[in-house]
Structure 1
Amino acid sequence: MRKLKLIWDFRGPAALKTAQHHEIHLKEYIRMQNLDIEITGVETLSDMHSIAFLVMDESQMKPIRDALKPHRGQVYQNQ
């Protein structure tokens, strides 16, 4: 099964802190919806751009995308 990474972009001087806070809410949503999602995270792309993300099976994507409205998505490459 293909995995997808849903991504929320945050920009500006508080981007990292905002992304870290957003990840807390993603984990709360996963727990409240009893979803089988184990991969979430935060990445810093530059001083002024950070992302929060979660990774799920492609079959789970549509209802999660519609509920959480990510900025973008991509096929997950296990690193």
Structure 2
Amino acid sequence: MNRKIKLLWDFRGEDAKETAIHHTKHLKEFAELENLSFYEIDILEKNPMLVCAFISVDENNLKTFRDALKPHRGEITS
């Protein structure tokens, strides 16, 4: 069974939300350009000074995303 992995990038500071939103645009562009499938691209607002951008992908695509985009961390979601 193939697991879903959430790759996350953390942004901190007053502009964290705007930066995270902008980063999601680049995540989508990369996936489309490389013709890679994904489940979801969005942000998680921990607090006004810490916001994460994320993409959820199949584990079999993990290495491609990880090596090219260098996420700060990852989580197994299912």
TM-score by length of 1: 0.93
Q: Give me the whole-angstrom Cα distance separating, in 1, the residues matched to 2:66 and 2:26.
A: 15
TM-score by length of 2: 0.94
1:21-32 matched pairs, under 5 angstroms: 21-32=22-33
Q: Write out the 4+ residue segments of structure 1 that deviate beyond 2 Å after TM superposition.
A: none
Aligned identity (percent) is 45
Letter in 1 for 2:57: M
**Equivalent residue for 2:61?**
60
Tell me whether 24-33 or 35-44 shows the greater mean CA deviation. 35-44
For these two proteins, the number of residue pairs brought into alignment is: 77
Q: 5+ unaligned residues in a row in structure 2: which ranges?
A: none
Over the aligned positions, Cα root-mean-square deviation in angstroms equals 0.9
